[in-house]
A = this chain, B = another copy of it.
Amino acid sequence: MSEPLPLNIGLCGFGTVGQGVWKHLSANLAELESRLGAKLVLARASVRDLKKKRAIKVPAKALTDDPMSIATDPSIQIVCELMGGTTLARQVTLAALRRGAVVVSANKALICEHGPEIIATAQRHGGHFFFEASVAGGIPIIKALREGLVANRFPRIYGILNGTCNYILTQMEERDAPYAAVLAEAKRLGYAEADESLDVDGWDTAHKASVLTWLAHGVWVKTDQMIVEGISRITPADFKNAAMLGFGIKLLAIITRDFARNEISVRVHPTLLPEGNVVANVSGVFNAVSVTGDVVGTTFYSGRGAGQDATASAVISDIVDAAALLKHGKGAHLLGEVAASPRNRGRLAPPESIRSRYYLRLTVKDQPGVLARVASVMAKQQVSIASVIQSPADQPGAASLVLTTHESNERAMGATLRQLRALAAVLDQPVLLRIGDFE
């Protein structure tokens, strides 16, 4: 047998993930090459600062500070975009796809913002775009949705997609600690970024929800078309109230589709989950996804959602798929055709179609008649109260009012919130959490 032609791999971005890919791919290279019947060469990597010392040693001539030079290098068949951001990352991705290369991406923000352009560019120029690492780190959820569960349509997909938020919520619950203190500690430990808003305000989860929605339903949903709420207003008291009612609290992405109405809803918000729910029991930095298919029923996936090693595992699986594709032909990568399938399209659900039970925490003046006024506002919106817990609030002269509702919808609850805010007796911004009655 003659020596197979090498497949050259370029890494645009050589931070935590890039170095993880280099390390683990190098360690398992012989094994992977033997499986593929192809030679894989880690040819080039781009860094911000050529002089910086790194844990992973790379030949100096393989390094560049210009990622575009890798994207446009005709000898590089597989370009991994691991820089993050959406400006230079977009340019690098499009440039590589335009010359027919395979791009492997971990960049959910980029996909969420520029997915249609990226896929169209890949299709026009014969390039390919792989993104297993963009959602849920090392859990092969993209492959499961795209290939393993291809026989299914998906009435519901939900899960924990941001390890930072899950770490913070788990710590708050276990240690009865306030949000700000846990966040500060998470920053010290490196579990949260200096600018935490991408994580804690739900945007990172929303980007990943967008990727999953496209895979499952063939539609691109941007973050401004979703409900996106973060975790910063949750208090230890919310955990105690939820526990009293039999729930835990998780930041979830929830993607549902009503096939009868052909309506899709995508939302990211803290959710009360029944204590026995398997997603409710996923703690710390772990991610978890529950996928309900119309044929298979509900399947569940969990694992590390971020970090050098888990993300590298996903990137390397895409590199191997890319190598198999380049060596053996197009194979099972049905990617482009997902979005192209017209039957697969749905429209966004209006707020009145997005139904759930709700948990509402109000800080109110501790005086007669307040509960009556609150209840009257809710009754006007046809929101039916299921339970009430009243307790003294931290402020003197104030009470905490925790209400749960029977099933209602986003339109009614939106109107309820607006009217409650207008009541003189309601002191702080109300905290509204959804209750997830999921199996």
Q: Are A35 and B337 in contact (CB under 8 A)?
A: yes
Q: Are B302 and A299 in contact (CB under 8 A)?
A: yes
Known: A150-B320, A301-B301. A325 touches B332 (CB 8 A): yes
Q: Are A300 and B297 in contact (CB under 8 A)?
A: no
A30 CB-CB contact with B under 8 Å: yes
Q: How far is the CA of A32 from the CA of B338 in the complex (A)?
A: 9
A293 CB-CB contact with B under 8 Å: yes
> Per-residue CB proximity of A318-354 to B under 8 Å, as 1/0?
0011001100111111100110111110000000000
CB distance from A286 to the nearest CB of B (A): 9
Q: Which of A192-200, A309-317, A396-404 contacts B (4 or more CB under 8 A)?
A: A309-317
A415 CB-CB contact with B under 8 Å: no
Q: Are B334 and A331 in contact (CB under 8 A)?
A: no
A258 CB-CB contact with B under 8 Å: no
Q: How many residues of A contact B (CB 8 A)?
A: 62
**Copies of this protein chain in the complex:** 2
A155 CB-CB contact with B under 8 Å: no
Which among B143, B303, B331 is the interface contact of A324 at CB below 8 angstroms?
A: B331
Q: How far is the CA of A436 from the CA of B151 in the complex (A)?
A: 35
A153-211 with Cβ < 8 A to chain B: 153
A138 CB-CB contact with B under 8 Å: yes
Q: Are A297 and B310 in contact (CB under 8 A)?
A: yes
Which chain B positions have C-beta within 8 A of A296?
Answer: 137-138, 303-304, 309-310, 313-314
A37 CB-CB contact with B under 8 Å: yes
Which chain B positions have C-beta within 8 A of A297?
Answer: 138, 303-304, 309-310
Q: Are B24 and A313 in contact (CB under 8 A)?
A: no
Interface centre among A331, A337, A341 (most CB of B within 10 A): A331
Closest B-chain residue to A340, C-beta based? B34
A147 CB-CB contact with B under 8 Å: yes
Known: A278-B281, A337-B36. A25 touches B151 (CB 8 A): yes
Q: Are B148 and A143 in contact (CB under 8 A)?
A: yes
Which among B137, B153, B321 is the interface contact of A28 at CB below 8 angstroms?
A: B153
Q: Are B341 and A24 in contact (CB under 8 A)?
A: no
Q: Are B344 and A31 in contact (CB under 8 A)?
A: yes
Closest B-chain residue to A322, C-beta based? B332
Q: Are B332 and A321 in contact (CB under 8 A)?
A: yes
The 3 closest A-B pairs by CB, nearest first: A331-B331, A329-B329, A140-B148
22 A-B pairs (CB sep. < 8 Å): A31-B341, A31-B343, A31-B344, A32-B150, A34-B341, A34-B344, A35-B334, A37-B337, A138-B149, A138-B296, A140-B148, A140-B299, A143-B143, A143-B144, A143-B148, A151-B320, A297-B310, A299-B302, A320-B332, A328-B330, A329-B330, A330-B331
